Amino acid sequence: MKAIYLDCFSGISGNMMIGALLDAGLSIEYLRAELAKLPVTSYKLIDKEVIKRGIKARYFNVEAKQWFQPSRNLHDIHKIISESSFTDTVKQKAIKIFNRLGAAEAKVHGVPESKIHFHEVGAIDSIVDIVGIAIGLEYLGIEHIFTSELHVGSGYVKCSHGRMPIPAPATAELLKGIPFYSEGIKGELVTPTGAAVVACLAEVSGPLPKGFSIEQVAYGAGSMDLEIPNVVRLYMGTMSAGLEAASHEAKIIETNIDDMNPEIYGYVIERLLNHPGVHDAYLTSIMMKKGRPGTKLSVLAAANKIADIARVILRETSTLGVRIIDCDTVHLEKEIISLETPWGQARVKVGRLAGQVLNVSPEYEDCKTIALKHNIPLKEVYQHMIAASKKLMIEAVPE
């Protein structure tokens, strides 16, 4: 499993995250080409190496070419991202981050999410930062994100609504459930965008996880000059193979429902599967009291995300309560690789145990794209991909 660990000893922001991804190997030419798919213009990308308190880091920023920026609401931003030709993975990650930002702003200002007009986070630099992060994670093949506790800084920050204490109100809302601290450094070290990225994409906040093997160390620079290096340190590597390293504490959240419109289930499952920490979500038909047919909703999730996930279920369904069951999970080491086909490259998921390939599965979205583009049956693409993958397969060693 390819993973990164973000050491946020000097906070995190959107541009710091992209700087770290660039330092870790994201191609700036690729990033420019992908960002050109956005239907927004009048900006310039800044990319350079800087020294922060003796540490060489990559500095990335977005410079608007015009001072006026239109006020955009969540619908406007969804439209901008959805109508662009990014992969579904990039779109989903970017929209998820903006949704979390919108929910935080709505909570702080006491208005519905649909009425929120983004100011700082609706400006072009935030759109580029958030979409750029999603592009970078996909480019580098990152499957798991872990972070340290977040150093938020102290003092006040100037926002569109005036001077606000650090962490700013929206940032504080986003940091619920995430460990953070302040050591008296003056300045806003964690921005709303940085907090939203951690809240949406990071699985665990704390020490470097057991089994994490570091292969590269990268640094993304912030724009401040502080008494400590204003950088985020990114460790890139893999989680160790084997059952012990792949075992994770998890829980199952369940509830039985017999009084909800069936059309809502698909929406709920989609919300849950996009929620950080959710490994799986599924429905089971059951028979309830008095012979009434019902549906059992089950969610397999990381133990440290249970409270947030339970809130989603209680908010989005008609249930009055959920039950939580302790559970441990074991995962194969997962890797996504590209294979050459007669129609171009397509990805497959490879599952390994202690270095041995046990499973190979074609990536549905790539197969679907090929089938539609070349007007051939989807099953034919699958059959070719499976045949091309056979050389990767080996027999599992019997116990």
DSSP string, 165-177: ESSPHHHHHHTTT
**Long-range contact list for 389-395, CB < 8 A, 24+ apart?**
389/339, 389/348, 389/360, 389/362, 392/348, 392/350, 392/357, 392/360, 393/357, 393/360, 394/356, 394/357
pTM equals: 0.64
What span, in angstroms and rounded, lies between the C-alpha atoms of 153 and 145? Answer: 23
pLDDT of amino acid 391: 65
34-51 pLDDT tens trace: 999 998 877 899 999 999
Contact (Cβ atoms closer than 8 angstroms) between residue 133 and residue 202: no
Q: Find the DSSP H helices in 175-262.
A: 192-201, 243-246
Show the low-confidence residues of the chain (pLDDT under 70).
66-71, 114-122, 160-161, 240-248, 354-356, 391-399
Q: What single string gives the DSSP state of each residue in 111-131?
A: S-GGG-EESTTTSHHHHHHHH
pLDDT of amino acid 1: 73
pLDDT of amino acid 113: 73
Contact (Cβ atoms closer than 8 angstroms) between residue 16 and residue 231: yes
Q: Quick check: helix, strand or coil at residue 292?
A: coil
pLDDT of amino acid 399: 39
What span, in angstroms and rounded, lies between the C-alpha atoms of 55 and 50? Answer: 8
Contact (Cβ atoms closer than 8 angstroms) between residue 345 and residue 363: no
**Where do the DSSP E strands lie in 317-363?**
323-330, 333-341, 344-353, 356-362
pLDDT of amino acid 70: 67
pLDDT of amino acid 398: 38
pLDDT of amino acid 121: 43
Q: CB neighbours of 379 closer than 8 A, spacing ≥ 6?
A: none
Where b means 16+ CB within 10 Å and e means fewer, 320-330 reads eebebeeeebe
91-115 pLDDT tens trace: 999 999 999 988 888 888 787 776 6
Contact (Cβ atoms closer than 8 angstroms) between residue 1 and residue 336: no
Q: CB neighbours of 359 closer than 8 A, spacing ≥ 6?
A: 332, 349, 350, 351
310-360 pLDDT tens trace: 999 999 999 999 999 988 777 777 777 888 888 988 888 887 776 667 788
Look at residues 198, 160, 201, 200 and name the one whose alpha carbon lies nearest to residue 179.
Answer: 198
**Tokens in use for 145?**
């994100």
What span, in angstroms and rounded, lies between the C-alpha atoms of 68 and 174? Answer: 27
What span, in angstroms and rounded, lies between the C-alpha atoms of 273 and 257? Answer: 19
Contact (Cβ atoms closer than 8 angstroms) between residue 233 and residue 214: no
What span, in angstroms and rounded, lies between the C-alpha atoms of 102 and 99? Answer: 5
Q: Quick check: helix, strand or coil at residue 304?
A: helix
Q: Quick check: helix, strand or coil at residue 196?
A: helix
Backbone angles phi, psi at 325, to 5 degrees: -120, 130
Q: Quick check: helix, strand or coil at residue 248?
A: strand
